[in-house]
Structure formats: structure tokens, C-alpha cells
Amino acid sequence: MQTTVALEGLEFFAYHGFHDEEQRIGNKYSVDIRIGLPDTKAGQSDNLADTVDYGQLYQIIARRMQQPARLLEHLAHDILQTVASTYPQLLSVEVGVTKYNPPIGGVCTRAQVCVRETFPIVP
């Protein structure tokens, strides 16, 4: 059995982008994260220490979103790696980073990059 914990639609105004102008003027971004955990004791214990702390997860993402990056892929990868190192019991992590109104020379509501990694079960 596996438990999934997700935070969806975390919104940030940040200064990411390949072009220097994007890093000067900023843009709206959102982040979605899905974490797979082994069937945790939290379902029976009702204890936060037996699962992933949503507040801490949000803080990890918020801190990373404050640091400018050129590529969404880089942001998503950094978030994934930080979460995985913070919570070594994870079975999987999927991170989606979305940029609203990307400068592509045409109409596009948003661009998104998703990264996913699975981890071996540790006995």
C-alpha cells in the first residue's frame, strides 16, 4: 500500500526565465508536488511525525522559488532533490512548475515542466 501526499496550485511571484528581461520584471508561477510514501503509521497514529509536514514542504518550495533560475527544469529538479533529501522515506516525488503567460511570441496561458523520480524501497 502507498500513501500520496500532494500540494497543488502553490502560487508565487518570482524572477525566473531564460531572458534577462524575465528575471527583471518577474512573473506568476505555480508549483504542484505529489509525494508517494510507504503506507505510513500516520493513518493509525494521527501523528505528524509519521508523515510529511505540509508546512515544511511549502517552505522548501517557497525558499527555492525566491532564487532566480533560467529554466523551469532546473527549478523542478532542485525542488525534487531538496524534498527527497529532507524525507528519505519517500517512494516517489513528482514536481510540476508552471509559468503563466510565457514569452513565446504567441498566445499561451501557461508553460509547465514536470519531473518525477522513484526511489527504491529501503527495508
Active-site residues: which are they?
Answer: 99
Cell of 80: 525534487
3-state helix, strand, coil in the chain (%, to 5): 35, 35, 35
What are the start-end ranges of the E strands in the chain? 2-14, 27-38, 92-100, 110-118
Backbone φ, ψ for residue 116 (5° rounding)? -140, 140
